Each structure stands twice: as structure tokens, then as C-alpha cells.
Chains A and B, each alone.
Chain A
Amino acid sequence: MATRRDFIKISALGIGGATLGAGAFNLLKGSGAELATTAAFARYPTYCEVCFWKCAGWSYVDEQGKLLKVEGHADDPHCSGRLCPRGTGGIGMYYDEDRLTTPLIRVEENGRQAFRKASWDEALGMVADKMKAIAGSHGPESMALFNHGSSGHYFTHLLKAYGSSNVVAPSYAQCRGPREAGWIATFGTSVGTPEPTDIRDTRCLVLIGSHLGENMHNGQVQEMSDAIDNGADIITVDPRYSTAASKSRYWLPIKPATDLALLLAWIHVIIYEELYDKDYVERYTYGLDRLKQHVRRMTPEWAYGITTIRPEAIRETARLMASAAPATIVHPGRHVTWYGDDSQRSRAIAILNALLGSWGRRGGFYFPESASLPEFPSPEYPKPKWSWKDTLDGRYPLASMGVTNTVIEASIASPEKEARIKGWIVTGTNLPLAIPDKAQLERAMQSLGLLVVIDTMPMEITGYADIVLPECTYLERYDEVRTSPYREPSLALRMPAIAPTGDSKPAWWIAKQLGEKLGLSEYFAYKDYTEVLDWQLRQVGSSLEEMQRAGVKMIPRKTPLYLKEGEAFQFGTNTGKIELYATEFEKYGFDPLPNYVAHPEPPKNYYRLNYGRAPMHTFSRTANNPNLTDLMDENKLWVNPKVAKIWGLENDQEIWLKNQDGIVSNFPIKVRITERIRWDSVYMVHGFGHSRKELTRSYGKGACDAEMITRPMTDPIMGGTGMRGNFVTFLLEKPEKAVES
């Protein structure tokens, strides 16, 4: 049993080491029994930006105007008054003393490149001049935007006004893109975010590599807990004994990379034992006969040899799902770019839900609805001559959003070919830790004529920038009203609780200033973003003043939450039905019914590298947050005891990782010997191993999984980069390799 000291050792940064800015953590003398609740002076509505679940909350400040804490908004459907650890620790995004506080321009001094501080006027003037030059010589389409989070909205608007629609985000091709392709092909609609999983009322939740509880998407975790209280059954498929697996009635410890075989066997059982929802399938679906024929030989016995899951366990779990249907959710997952056939795996998941009749049913999936706010009046965008679709070069025909990797490829100049993309704006995404194949990413960045990075922190990506523009944190700014789809539509306001630190600025301000310098003032016809917000809110019968008081406003639904019994329903597919047989896939030459394809296995002494999340961190963006590093300040490599014995590894021993392409990790990672992982794979939490010294708390803490992912397997359907096909071995001695930065 771990003791309290172990906890400190595990999760605490050096005791009493860090000094935090602005005195927020000034210690009060005394017993500590007379604190924050009474000391709070004012509260301001916000919604969280530490992840993209966007929980609404209140930021509290004291009488001196110091930020005290952020708490969940009781009326918010995303969080029901309870933020997750990242949201609670969100004040650390503000107090992090390593923040970017002034614009920076790359200069060369004595043959060495460095950043020098600059005024906003100079930095933005330089960006505008370079963007004008690119537009003049190559056309505005040669600028691309990489974005994630709230700031993306303003720079998307800027880029479109400038004349480019090359807007991409790793949240598609490095994350949830394949499931959207699989869902669109089956149900004619994407899953979207937040996922419309009716977990609260489910009777059976099936998680396939989805580690809710470690992946702390708040509403889903809260509902999973409610479902446990209500006696729902959970089935978890994971080679690792995840937290969710430990809450499950069935944990299927699957051999990695074989999930599709299990899904097909489940489909086999449900069809051949006639467990499917006959009325639903007959009324709403297309292609049952062909599916039935297709999975004829895909029996649990067949899948056993592939997945190592016993046939009786496959049958029992299929029957359990069917007995709870339609209140069964086979969760579509979120980060699903695994093996390059991910759209097909997502299709199998979609098919399973269709057979169980769970789409559009209580306890399955509800139909989400969002509030709609009109756009602030603005001139029409110029029509770009080409877009990111042209960077696909005939590949990935079912990509429904921009594909980062093809834009990156199109940015690389070679002797034979000039790069189509000449400049990038990157906001809110740390590409070196998000994009696989770092060498290719670096080639692209070296080719660029302009790289502008907007961030709150000196992330790795800022180290490659020509110009760095410091954004203030979500606690210091207004942003777009949140209108995310949910059971009940809602509006949520984010307003500043406190003035921006240093010379950091809200993204809307940065985009507007840049727009004006580019001669695009008419697209930014307001002085302050509050004018936009108030105008938008007044169109729907609210106002900025109302939202400043209320924070969250619920809007009545206009459409039904579920399908009505026997309702005629037109799905957005070619046949108007739920397509068990995907005609759209067939049209482009892809398997209209999913097939299991074996993936490469690790060579001797190598282990499949699996990665995931910890509940107190979001990717690499929180690894330096003082509050959250205090909970977890490094990742560890999970190793099965048998493997540890072979290698003679001990807990907390530092080792280096080497992948199948000979790439060695920049930093060592400590070993965590645990029964919770299979012997053929290792596991680490994503987002650590930072290599910029400016990130003083996270520099060199743990190792970076992205560094080891040099061989992505690309999904031919939508361009997603499968990142679970890389293998690592261990170096017990420090390799001869200079640590960068």
C-alpha cells in the first residue's frame, strides 16, 4: 500500500521549491480554518480551457483582486457544478511563472539564434508584412492555420478574410477523425463533441480502449459514476487494466491491435443468435443480409485465435449487450487513430450500435442539440483558389476536415517540387508533441517562410517560431459564447476575472490587430469583443449583461431527444438508412463491410508502445501547470513484472527508450512495474518529456511518447495517423546523445 510519503514522492514537485507569481499561494497564518469561502470577493463566469469539454464555472477573486479558485457552475450540463482536477487546477494556467508575457521575435546574434522582446506593434507589423509578401508572391492560400481550442475561431476568421481556407487541427487526423468517418458512413452524421452518449441512463457501457476516468472528460466520467450507482454493467476492452476496467463486470484483456476481430465476432454472435433489435434493424438499416454473409465465418472461436479473448467471454458479453439494448452504448471512443484502419474499426462499432438499436435511443445515444448564435455581420470572404483538399493529392477522399499531415507534407520544399504552403499560424497546439514523425514535421518547419505561434506558454512549438505572440489565459479574457451540443442546448459565457498578465493579450485582440495591419479592418468592425458578444446574445433574447450575471443559460430543445417509437426517420446517408453496408465506402473503393487485417507485431525484445492520459493532465499543455504538476510531475513506463524480471528492471529505475527506427528518447523515463499491463506492450501517459528549458517545471520530466512515434500508419479513408504501431526497447545505460534545447 502506498503511504502518504509515497504520494508526495510520486506526485510532488520539490518540496517548497517553487515560488508562485502574484502571491496567490501566500500562506495564511493560523489553523487554516478561516479561508477562501469567506475571503472570496467577487466571482466571474467562465468556461474551462484546460481541456475541450468546456465546463462552465466561476472564477473567484479576493478583495485585492487576486485570483483564488475556479469552481464548477451548478447549472452547467457539462459539469453539474463539479470541475475535474484540471479545471480545479486551472488557476495554475494563470499563475504559471513560465508564461509568455511579451511578443518575441527570432533574431540572429553572433551566429546564434535567439528571441528578443518586441512591442505588439513591431511583432504584428512584421507578421503582417510577411503575410502580405506571401500573398503577393504565392497567393494567400499558401498560409495555413493549425489550431486547437478557443483561439482558433479568431484566426480562422482572419485567415479566411485574408483568402485562405487552409485550416487544420490535430483533433481530427491525430485524434477523433476516423470515428467521424465511420459514423458518417453508417449514420450519416458525425459523433461530434461532447459525445452524445446517454451514459446516465445506460444499462450497459462498452469501452474499447477508451479509458474514461483516466480520460477525464467530465460529463462522461460523472455519468459513468451515476451508471455504476444505477447498477449498469461496464464491459472494457483494453490490453491494460485501466481504471475503467477495474469498474467493469467484464474486462477483456485483448491482445493489442486486434480489436476489429473482436468487434466482428460480436457482430457475428448478435446476428447469428438473432439478438439484434429486429424492428429497428428492419425499419432503419440497410445491408443486413450482406453483413450476415460477411461475418459468417467470424465466429468467437475465430476471434479467440487473434484476440486471445475466450470464445465464451465473447458470447457472454455479446448477450449482455443485447439484453440491455437499446440502453447499451458501444462507445465510439475519442482518440481513435491507432492502426491506420481506424475508420473501419469505427464502422464496426457503429454497426454494433445499429444492430443493438442504440442510436437515437434512451440509454444509448441521444440526438444532441445546440443553441445557435448568428455570426456578427462581416463581409463575405474572398474565394480561395485552392484549399487543404488540394493537399490530399487524390488521397483520403472521406476526410471531412483539414488533414494536418497533408498540409505538413505540402509545406516541405524539395529540389523537384516547390512547397505549396509557405507560412503557418499555430495557435493553442504544441505540434512537436502532437504530430507523429517529428523529422518530417521539422523538415516542414525548416521550409517555411513564416511561422507565427500564439500560445500562453513557451511550448516546444514556440522554439521553432519566427514570431511568438503571447496569448493571455482563459481566465483573463472574453471568448466566443459556448454553444456546444448536449441534451439541452445552453449558452455559457467566458469573461475575464482578472487583467492579463504582462503584455499577453486575448486571441480576439491579436487577430483583430493583425487583420487591421493586413488591411482587413472591415472584417473586424468592432472596438471590443464585448460588442460582438452582446450583439450575438441579443439576437437570441439574451444580453451580455444577463450572461455576466448568470454565466449559463439553458435554451429549450426544439427537436426530440430520442427517436419516437416507430418513427420514420431519414438518415444522412446515400440510402437514407443506417448503412450496415457502407455505400459511400464502396463508391471510393474501400471495404463496404469491415475486415480484420493483422498488424505488424513487435520484434524480439521490443514492446508495443501504448500511450494514454492521466486524469490530472491534458496532453502537453498542462505539464508545467504548478497545481497539476503537484499531482503528477512526470510519466512513468508501465512494465509487466515478467518483462521487468527479464530485463532486471526495478521500480523508479531510469531507462531510455529506443524505437524500431533507432530513435532514442531525449530523456530517461522511470519504470513502473505493474500487473496492470500486458507483457507484449508498455504504456506511458502522453504529454511529458518536454525539451524546452523555458518550461522550468516540466523540462526533462519523463519521456515523450510522440518522439517514439516515427512510423504512423495512415488511414487511407480519411488520413488519420495511426500511432499505436510503434515498438520500443529499453536502454539501461545513458545513450550517447546530446539532449536538445
Chain B
Amino acid sequence: MRYAMAIDTKKCVGCSDCVVACQIENKVPTGYCRDWVTETVYGAYPQLELELRSERCNHCDNAPCVRCCPTGASYIAEGGVVLVEASKCIGCGACIESCPYDARYSHPDGYVDKCTFCIHRVREGLQPACVAVCPTKCMYFGDLDDPSSDISKLLKTRKYKVLAPEAGTKPQVYYLL
């Protein structure tokens, strides 16, 4: 089992519903977020292109945050999902420094927090909160080891990219182009 997410940049309107749905679902304190939206503009008026991306932890196959964690608080759970065991976390911040995606933050309660792919929902057979709420249905979550999953099919037929491939982290959030 290999959980992954694909996000269709052709459909995303950058509304940030994924951000607020995550904050509410995961009780992320005000002022912090586990996912966020970026906007990149290419070209000059009027020859322009715009890419909107909903970003989050990439749940990397080769996760530097897990490797560098001195206490074992950061670990890889089922389906390759990268999680933090808050009770083991000493808040040293090594993982924050190691992440090329800036996907982790220090929670005011003293531990490091990040996207969990809403594993608590996935275990109940639900989609992650961001995927479930997205009004444009631009986000797909599923198992890459299952060739019949939507995400497997999309990655076979669509052009895509991942972020910072040069970091060698083997990220598992794919952006459909």
C-alpha cells in the first residue's frame, strides 16, 4: 500500500478551502496551517500563465525528517504516511530544518506538527478533509499500489510533476499539469 495525492492544477482555483477544512478538522491553532496554497505567475502581461497549487507534506518515500529525528517521534506509518508521535517529540526542530518543502511547524504546545493525510479519516474509509471538501474536485487521494485507483489511472494518463525532485526525497504529492 502506498498512499499518495494528485492535485490537478488545471482545475484548482486556489480558494483555500483545503486549508480551512484542514485547520478545522485537525484543530490546527489559528495562525498555523498544515496545507497552504501557492500562486506562481509566468510571463509578462498579456502573455501569462498561472499555476495554483495546494501544498502540504509530501509523505516522501525517502523522508529526511524521519531520518534526522533524534527521538524517533517522526516515523513512517501504514501506506508510507509520515507521522509525528507528539509524546515522543522534544520540539528540537531538526525535522523542520531538514524538510525541503517547509511542511512542518512548531505547534505552540511544544511539538512539531504537519499533514497526516488525515490518516484518522482514511482509517474510517473517508477521504482526507482537504480532498473531501474541495469544490473543484481537483484533489485525488488513493493507493498507488492499486492499479485500479483513480490516482494510479491519472498518473498513467496525465502529465505531472513533483516538487523539488532534485532533493531526492521521492515525494508522493503529484501535480497534474
The verdict on A13 contacting B30 (CB below 8 Å), with A7-B36, A241-B48, A674-B41 known, is yes
Of B15, B45, B49, B126, which one neighbours A677 at CB under 8 angstroms?
Answer: B45
**Separation of A36 and B86 alpha carbons in the complex (Å):** 18
Shortest CB distance A606–B (Å): 19
Query: Residue of B at shortest CB range from A14?
Result: B31
**Separation of A657 and B71 alpha carbons in the complex (Å):** 54
CB of B20 within 8 A of CB of A32, answer no
Of B15, B48, B134, B138, which one neighbours A675 at CB under 8 angstroms?
Answer: B48
Query: Residue of A at shortest CB range from B101?
Result: A4
The verdict on A91 contacting B24 (CB below 8 Å), with A1-B40, A4-B55, A83-B17 known, is yes
CB of B43 within 8 A of CB of A675, answer yes
A253 adjacent to chain B (CB < 8 Å):
yes
Chain B residues near A632 (CB-CB < 8 A): 16
Query: Residue of A at shortest CB range from B120?
Result: A33
Q: Which of A562-616 contact B (CB under 8 A)?
A: 615-616
CB of A246 within 8 A of CB of B50, answer yes
Q: Which of B1-43 contact A (CB under 8 A)?
A: 10-11, 13-17, 19-21, 23-33, 36-41, 43
B108 adjacent to chain A (CB < 8 Å):
yes
Q: Which of A227-254 contact B (CB under 8 A)?
A: 228-229, 241, 243, 245-247, 251, 253
**Separation of A35 and B123 alpha carbons in the complex (Å):** 12
Chain A residues near B29 (CB-CB < 8 A): 16, 25, 27
CB of A35 within 8 A of CB of B41, answer no
B161 adjacent to chain A (CB < 8 Å):
no
A676 adjacent to chain B (CB < 8 Å):
yes
CB of B135 within 8 A of CB of A28, answer no
A626 adjacent to chain B (CB < 8 Å):
yes
Query: Residue of B at shortest CB range from A6?
Result: B38
Chain B residues near A12 (CB-CB < 8 A): 30-33
**Separation of A15 and B108 alpha carbons in the complex (Å):** 10
B166 adjacent to chain A (CB < 8 Å):
no
- Segment from A212-220, A277-285, A339-347 that makes contact with B: A212-220
B155 adjacent to chain A (CB < 8 Å):
no
Q: Which of A137-170 contact B (CB under 8 A)?
A: none
A627 adjacent to chain B (CB < 8 Å):
yes
- B-contact 0/1 string along A60-71, CB 8 Å cutoff: 000000001101
The verdict on A84 contacting B15 (CB below 8 Å), with A216-B135, A241-B48, A253-B46 known, is yes
B67 adjacent to chain A (CB < 8 Å):
no
CB of A241 within 8 A of CB of B24, answer no
A202 adjacent to chain B (CB < 8 Å):
no
**Separation of A156 and B172 alpha carbons in the complex (Å):** 55
The verdict on A675 contacting B45 (CB below 8 Å), with A30-B87, A221-B13 known, is yes
Shortest CB distance B168–A (Å): 19
Q: Which of B118-153 contact A (CB under 8 A)?
A: 119-121, 124, 126, 132-138
Shortest CB distance B33–A (Å): 7
Shortest CB distance B83–A (Å): 6
A38 adjacent to chain B (CB < 8 Å):
yes
Query: Residue of A at shortest CB range from B21?
Result: A88
Of A7, A16, A38, which one neighbours B120 at CB under 8 angstroms?
Answer: A38
CB of B20 within 8 A of CB of A616, answer yes
Interface residues on chain A, number (Cβ under 8 Å): 78
**Separation of A345 and B10 alpha carbons in the complex (Å):** 31
CB of A243 within 8 A of CB of B13, answer yes
Shortest CB distance A48–B (Å): 12
A391 adjacent to chain B (CB < 8 Å):
no
B66 adjacent to chain A (CB < 8 Å):
no
A411 adjacent to chain B (CB < 8 Å):
no
Shortest CB distance B109–A (Å): 6
Chain B residues near A13 (CB-CB < 8 A): 30-31
Chain B residues near A218 (CB-CB < 8 A): 135
B68 adjacent to chain A (CB < 8 Å):
no
**Separation of A36 and B126 alpha carbons in the complex (Å):** 12
A34 adjacent to chain B (CB < 8 Å):
yes
The verdict on A85 contacting B27 (CB below 8 Å), with A16-B108, A222-B135 known, is no
CB of B15 within 8 A of CB of A615, answer yes
**Separation of A18 and B29 alpha carbons in the complex (Å):** 10
A678 adjacent to chain B (CB < 8 Å):
yes
Chain A residues near B135 (CB-CB < 8 A): 79, 82-84, 216, 218, 221-222, 225
Chain A residues near B21 (CB-CB < 8 A): 85, 88
A111 adjacent to chain B (CB < 8 Å):
no
Query: Residue of A at shortest CB range from B10?
Result: A228
The verdict on A225 contacting B136 (CB below 8 Å), with A4-B101, A33-B119, A615-B14 known, is yes
The verdict on A35 contacting B46 (CB below 8 Å), with A85-B16, A216-B15 known, is no
Query: Residue of A at shortest CB range from B124?
Result: A37
Query: Residue of B at shortest CB range from A13?
Result: B31
Chain A residues near B76 (CB-CB < 8 A): none
Of B15, B27, B124, which one neighbours A28 at CB under 8 angstroms?
Answer: B27
**Separation of A1 and B36 alpha carbons in the complex (Å):** 13
B84 adjacent to chain A (CB < 8 Å):
yes
Of A216, A247, A616, A630, which one neighbours B30 at CB under 8 angstroms?
Answer: A630
Shortest CB distance A255–B (Å): 11
**Separation of A82 and B127 alpha carbons in the complex (Å):** 13
Shortest CB distance A312–B (Å): 15
**Separation of A616 and B86 alpha carbons in the complex (Å):** 31
CB of A630 within 8 A of CB of B31, answer yes
Query: Residue of A at shortest CB range from B56?
Result: A4
CB of A228 within 8 A of CB of B11, answer yes
Query: Residue of A at shortest CB range from B15?
Result: A615
CB of B120 within 8 A of CB of A37, answer yes
Chain A residues near B15 (CB-CB < 8 A): 84-85, 213, 216, 221, 615-616
- B-contact 0/1 string along A656-677, CB 8 Å cutoff: 0000000000000000001111
A114 adjacent to chain B (CB < 8 Å):
no
A205 adjacent to chain B (CB < 8 Å):
no
CB of B36 within 8 A of CB of A26, answer no
Can you offer 14 A-B residue contacts whose CB atoms are under 8 A?
A4-B103, A16-B29, A26-B27, A33-B119, A36-B27, A37-B25, A79-B135, A82-B134, A83-B17, A84-B135, A85-B15, A226-B137, A630-B30, A675-B44
Give the interface of A toward B (CB within 8 A).
1-8, 11-18, 20, 25-38, 68-69, 71-72, 79, 82-85, 88-89, 91, 212-214, 216, 218, 221-222, 224-226, 228-229, 241, 243, 245-247, 251, 253, 615-616, 626-628, 630-632, 640-641, 674-679
Known: A35-B26, A226-B137. 5 other contacts (CB 8 A): A13-B31, A25-B27, A84-B17, A89-B20, A675-B48
- Which 4 pairs across A and B sit closest by C-beta, in order of nearness? A213-B13, A615-B15, A246-B50, A225-B136
